[in-house]
Chains A and B, each alone.
Chain A
Amino acid sequence: MSAFTRGGAAGAPPAIGGESPGRRALRQFMAHRLAMAGLVVVAIFVLAALLAPWLAPYDPLETSWSRLRQAPSWAHPFGTDENGRDVLSRVLWGARASLMAGVVAVGGAALMGVPLGLLAGLAGGWVDAVISRVADAMLSVPSLILAIALAAFLGPALENAMLAIAIAAAPVFARLARGMALEARSTDWFESARALGNPPWRNALLHVLPNIAPPLLVQATLAIAEAIIAEAALSFLGLGQQPPAPSWGSMLNSAQRFIESAPWLAIFPGLAIFVVVLAFNLVGDGLRDALDPRTKR
């Protein structure tokens, strides 16, 4: 697996008499029907989150004593909750918390993990030893338990939950970036870039990062799916989004108490998590198939 086969890299030779690796990856991804379906679903959820103020039929926080726990109807397609709030409106607004948490947490994890991983892989020696051991130590705690512990000590708030998920997910990105940096360091084009007298940070930024972008993109997509579940889990435990602000996890938590009398309270927020996570996983799998040169079609 030479670095030349990866798409759009600086220093990679121009594609001769054919499509570029990036274009080929795009074509393969577009031909991946399930991945495209996943992308459409993700787009729908992003739009729903952005347009929640206009799409939601009711105010997600407006309580009403006259319509407590009403079963789904035309007026309230997903029913109403224990405070008479419209569940559909809350699910739509909840998409904001979930998607934002997924994207921000994974972005944070990549911003922390990738530079450290590059540093470890390119510097080697004791720098590598320290960074790798810290990553090992963090990876020895299942990420959800690490996130719960971090969120517990940071205090319950959506921002703290996102930070906790980001920290817990960072070692995976560090390890990936380190592995790719080590691989890049052993290639001829990296050697020649160094021989030209480029400073190390420039090599990392211009030569290594573009080459490791495809696997990072795959990892990030799959990590968003995990981060959305983690945010829901933390909110379910009361460590994420604080009530009355809507979030799918906290909605599931309060739904548990009314599982006998109002099962719709548990069905719809969970379904939303499931569908959006499934969509991100489909996109991630599709990206992996399209970007991994080993699975040429």
Chain B
Amino acid sequence: MTGFLVRRVGQIIPTLLILSLLVFGLQQLMPGDPALILAGEERGDPQVLAQIRAELMLDRPLWEQYLHWLSRVVVGDFGFSWRIRLPVSELILEKLPVTFQLATMSFVIGVVIGVPCGVLSAVWKDRPADWAINAVALFGISTPNFWLGIMLILLFSVQLGWLPPSGYVPPWEDPWQSLATTIMPAFVLGTGVASVLMRHTRAAMLGALSQDYVRTARAKGLSERVVVAKHALRNALIPVVTLGTIEFGRLLAGAVLTEQIFTIPGFGKLIVDAVFNRDYPVVQGVVLATALIFVLLSLLADLLYAAVNPRLRAA
């Protein structure tokens, strides 16, 4: 297990290094001089421009800029927001819990809907219930989540007046209000997760149900319920668990537009606001942080997989 862990972590480091190069390289795509953007009203003053260039090391060769930037990123210093002059890492850490709450709720919704539907759809393969579940999953995958969000606001906030259309209340201030403000966005994100998990659960269950040990269990005279729940499902869930971990990471991306629509001050809204404000260090910081979370989640997924599947550890 230790060897596996060391090898797996060893793979992450080059990935992250290349990623840092790419994120740093984003700056070079930018049309125009960042110093001019930063200087704002004082853009005519060559002294101010020179000062900004020196501060951002824009007057140095690229490789030097990169190494300097990397040496700070490694210790968690993502630089300063151009717009609000706060450390980027502070902004990210401040917004992350909000998105984490949203992602957790969406994930729970996705698992609670997706996994049972996948199991039922596999058990009832090629019957009307299977078709219906598949159709709903296809709809879920094809619906742009920002449109679904607007439609839910239209129905539940504008027409029925049951839920607030936007805003956010932290759970420790008012749990009920917090739930009311996050349930719609969580549902929007959760349907996407549910559709993906349903398809994978169905495929994994169909695979498991055709295995010899299931035939043996049936031949022993076990009831179909026991066969499905105890024998097939347990094995089918192994790939689903790891996939679920990855899906959790993808919720961060989904949260971008959903948070924008429901004006939830999370991670996604941070990058959108940064894009609007041309606050490039924040954009870079969010991309790096997302990648880091994603890489750590896939590591977790692999470890979970190895933990439940001993064959992999020896390999």
Q: Do A145 and B253 contact each other (CB < 8 Å), given the known contacts A152-B283, A270-B151, A281-B141?
A: yes
CB distance from A105 to the nearest CB of B (A): 16
**Does A111 have its Cβ within 8 Å of any Cβ on chain B?**
no
Interface residues of B in 258-315 (CB under 8 A from A): 260-261, 271-272, 274-276, 278, 280, 283-284, 286-287, 290-291, 294-295, 298
- A233 to B260 CA separation, bound complex (whole angstroms): 11
Of A115-123, A182-190, A201-209, A252-260, the one touching chain B? A252-260
B contact residues, range: 35 or more
Are B144 and A141 in contact (CB-based, < 8 A)? no
Q: Which of A141, A151, A232, A274 contacts B142 (CB 8 A)?
A: A274
- A225 to B141 CA separation, bound complex (whole angstroms): 10
Of B25-33, B75-83, B181-189, B210-218, the one touching chain A? B25-33
**Does B39 have its Cβ within 8 Å of any Cβ on chain A?**
no
- A154 to B252 CA separation, bound complex (whole angstroms): 23
Interface residues of A in 248-268 (CB under 8 A from B): 252, 255-256, 259-260, 263, 266-267
- A274 to B165 CA separation, bound complex (whole angstroms): 22
- A282 to B280 CA separation, bound complex (whole angstroms): 39
Identify the interface centre among B257, B278, B294: most chain A CB within 10 Å of its CB. B257
Q: Which residues of B contact A229 (CB under 8 A)?
A: 144
- A229 to B146 CA separation, bound complex (whole angstroms): 10
**Does B67 have its Cβ within 8 Å of any Cβ on chain A?**
no
The number of residues on chain A lying at the interface, defined by a beta carbon within 8 Å of a beta carbon of chain B, is: 44
**Does A22 have its Cβ within 8 Å of any Cβ on chain B?**
no
Could you count the A-B residue pairs with CB atoms below 8 Å apart for me: how many are there? 133
Interface residues of A in 27-62 (CB under 8 A from B): none
Of B15-23, B48-56, B119-127, B168-176, the one touching chain A? B15-23
Q: Which of B141, B261, B290 contacts A142 (CB 8 A)?
A: B290
Q: Do A140 and B291 contact each other (CB < 8 Å), given the known contacts A133-B15, A134-B18?
A: yes
Q: Which of A134, A148, A154, A273 contacts B29 (CB 8 A)?
A: A154
Of A12-20, A73-81, A236-244, the one touching chain B? A236-244
Identify the interface centre among A145, A239, A267: most chain B CB within 10 Å of its CB. A145
**Does B14 have its Cβ within 8 Å of any Cβ on chain A?**
yes
The residue on A at minimum CB distance from B16 is A137
**Does B58 have its Cβ within 8 Å of any Cβ on chain A?**
no
Are B146 and A236 in contact (CB-based, < 8 A)? yes
**Does A150 have its Cβ within 8 Å of any Cβ on chain B?**
yes
**Does B105 have its Cβ within 8 Å of any Cβ on chain A?**
no
- A233 to B256 CA separation, bound complex (whole angstroms): 10
The residue on A at minimum CB distance from B159 is A263
Are B253 and A155 in contact (CB-based, < 8 A)? no
Mask: chain A, 126-144; 1 = CB below 8 Å from B; 0 = not: 0000000110111011111
Are A256 and B261 in contact (CB-based, < 8 A)? yes
- A141 to B257 CA separation, bound complex (whole angstroms): 16
**Does B250 have its Cβ within 8 Å of any Cβ on chain A?**
yes
Q: Do A237 and B275 contact each other (CB < 8 Å), given the known contacts A141-B287, A142-B250?
A: yes
- A259 to B261 CA separation, bound complex (whole angstroms): 12
**Does A153 have its Cβ within 8 Å of any Cβ on chain B?**
yes
Q: Which of B26, B147, B249, B252 contacts A149 (CB 8 A)?
A: B26
CB distance from A276 to the nearest CB of B (A): 9
Are B15 and A225 in contact (CB-based, < 8 A)? no
Q: Do A150 and B275 contact each other (CB < 8 Å), given the known contacts A138-B22, A140-B294, A145-B287?
A: no
The residue on B at minimum CB distance from A134 is B18
Describe B's contact surface by its main secondary structure. helix
The residue on A at minimum CB distance from B32 is A155
**Does B136 have its Cβ within 8 Å of any Cβ on chain A?**
no
Are A233 and B146 in contact (CB-based, < 8 A)? yes
- A142 to B298 CA separation, bound complex (whole angstroms): 13
- A259 to B256 CA separation, bound complex (whole angstroms): 20
The residue on B at minimum CB distance from A156 is B275
Identify the interface centre among A144, A148, A256, A270: most chain B CB within 10 Å of its CB. A148
Are A153 and B144 in contact (CB-based, < 8 A)? no
**Does A277 have its Cβ within 8 Å of any Cβ on chain B?**
yes
The residue on A at minimum CB distance from B153 is A259
Are A237 and B257 in contact (CB-based, < 8 A)? yes
Q: Do A150 and B15 contact each other (CB < 8 Å), given the known contacts A259-B153, A266-B151?
A: no
Q: Do A153 and B29 contact each other (CB < 8 Å), given the known contacts A145-B271, A148-B256, A237-B275?
A: yes
- Beyond A136-B15, A137-B291, A281-B142, list 20 extra A-B contacts (CB 8 Å): A133-B14, A140-B291, A140-B294, A141-B294, A142-B249, A142-B250, A144-B253, A145-B287, A145-B290, A149-B26, A152-B280, A154-B29, A233-B257, A252-B146, A252-B150, A256-B150, A259-B154, A259-B165, A277-B143, A281-B138
Q: Which residue numbers of B lie inside 8 Å of A, CB to CB?
A: 14-16, 18-19, 22-23, 26-27, 29-31, 138-139, 141-144, 146-147, 150-151, 153-154, 158, 165, 249-250, 252-254, 256-257, 260-261, 271-272, 274-276, 278, 280, 283-284, 286-287, 290-291, 294-295, 298
8 shortest interchain CB distances as A-B pairs: A142-B253, A270-B147, A278-B142, A137-B18, A137-B19, A152-B275, A153-B29, A277-B142
CB<8 Å pairs between A and B, sample of 21: A137-B18, A138-B22, A140-B19, A141-B19, A142-B290, A144-B254, A149-B275, A149-B284, A151-B275, A152-B283, A153-B30, A154-B31, A155-B31, A233-B146, A237-B260, A259-B165, A260-B158, A266-B147, A267-B151, A270-B144, A270-B147
